[in-house]
């Protein structure tokens, strides 16, 4: 099966991949769960976190659950320790620990999150990354033209959140990002646009583990759930269902009830959000903005 959104898609679509316009993100189509009391460890893990001159806000209780918690799980893989495996179809990202263990993070996936699959590396990362709307977004969203034509500095309202990891393949920027978000209600849901988002508390944790050259594997829809059950075992019905939904979503987009229908994502173009070059930098760069 051919991947429905190949890396060779038109550049304007790739440039409409990561981040989300502050004017276009809404809770309107996301039904929050009933008010809940968080366990002490969950509340502490996703509480407010001082981060230099800024403080990452606590994730609201209605946007959290034990299922979304960052946690060590059994994960069958032969990939080396430190590999990141992104499973968009299951809304999970795994950091491989070895001996069939991994740290699992809950993620949000936009349609462009299915626009890349296979292997990549992370040559550099950013704290509080700068976000720049593309010419296409400036044309279609005039409100962005005046304040952010030249970019939005990193900060609490920045669509890329507290951290961003940049994926390259064969020395070239894939324009695929793993990043935080100021919109925690999107985590665990399919959204109209975007790459891979984590809670800011989780992207900070992952950021600390990443080094120059970290390997990333992004699973295509037909491989959703791989590693969550033993090799050779029958594929669980839940995984088969997730694969079917992922393939359908990658082709058609999300159903109206799956997440914020008003999300429209734009990344930082490679020349303004990174080092201004499309070649792999010699070392891991961590400067902000």
The catalytic residues are 179, 195
Query: Which of 221, 194, 190 lies closest to 15, judged by CA?
Result: 194
Cβ neighbors of 111 (< 8 A, separation 6 or more) are 5, 192, 193, 194, 249, 250, 253, 254
Tell me the CA distances in angstroms from 155 to 115, 128, 177, 255, one per residue in order. Answer: 27, 6, 17, 31
CA distance 122 to 156: 24
> What single-letter DSSP state applies at residue 182?
S
- DSSP label at 226? T
Q: Which of 12, 222, 49 is nearest to 134 (CA)?
A: 12
Q: Residue 99: which residues within 8 A CB-CB, separation 6 or more? A: none
Nearest to 115 by CA among 260, 14, 1, 18: 14
Assigned token pair, 86: 């992104």
């Amino acid at each position: 099966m051919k991947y429905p959104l190949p890396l060779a898609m038109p550049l304007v679509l790739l440039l409409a991949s990561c981040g989300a316009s502050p004017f276009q993100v809404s809770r309107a189509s996301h039904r929050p769960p009933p008010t809940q009391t968080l366990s002490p460890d969950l509340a502490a893990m996703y509480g407010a976190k001082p981060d230099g001159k800024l403080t990452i806000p606590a994730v609201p209780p209605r946007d959290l659950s034990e299922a979304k918690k960052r946690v060590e799980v059994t994960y069958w893989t032969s990939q080396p320790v430190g590999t990141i495996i992104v499973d968009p179809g299951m809304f999970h990202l795994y950091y491989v620990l070895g001996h069939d263990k991994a740290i699992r993070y809950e993620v949000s996936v936009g349609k462009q999150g299915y626009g890349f699959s296979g292997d990549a590396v992370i040559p550099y990362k950013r704290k509080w990354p700068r976000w720049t709307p593309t010419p296409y977004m400036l044309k279609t969203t005039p409100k962005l033209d005046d304040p952010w034509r030249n970019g939005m500095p990193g900060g609490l309202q920045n669509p890329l959140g507290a951290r961003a990891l940049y994926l390259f393949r064969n020395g070239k920027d894939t324009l695929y990002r793993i990043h935080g978000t100021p919109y925690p209600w999107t985590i665990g849901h399919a959204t109209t646009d975007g790459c891979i988002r984590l809670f800011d508390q989780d992207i900070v944790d992952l950021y600390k583990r990443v080094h120059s050259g970290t390997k990333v594997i992004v699973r295509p829809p037909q491989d959703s759930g791989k590693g969550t059950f033993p090799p050779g075992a029958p594929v669980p019905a839940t995984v088969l269902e997730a694969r079917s939904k992922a393939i359908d979503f990658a082709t058609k987009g999300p159903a109206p009830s799956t997440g914020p229908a008003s999300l429209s994502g734009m990344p930082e173009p490679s020349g303004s959000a990174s080092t201004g070059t499309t070649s792999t930098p010699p070392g891991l760069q961590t400067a902000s903005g």
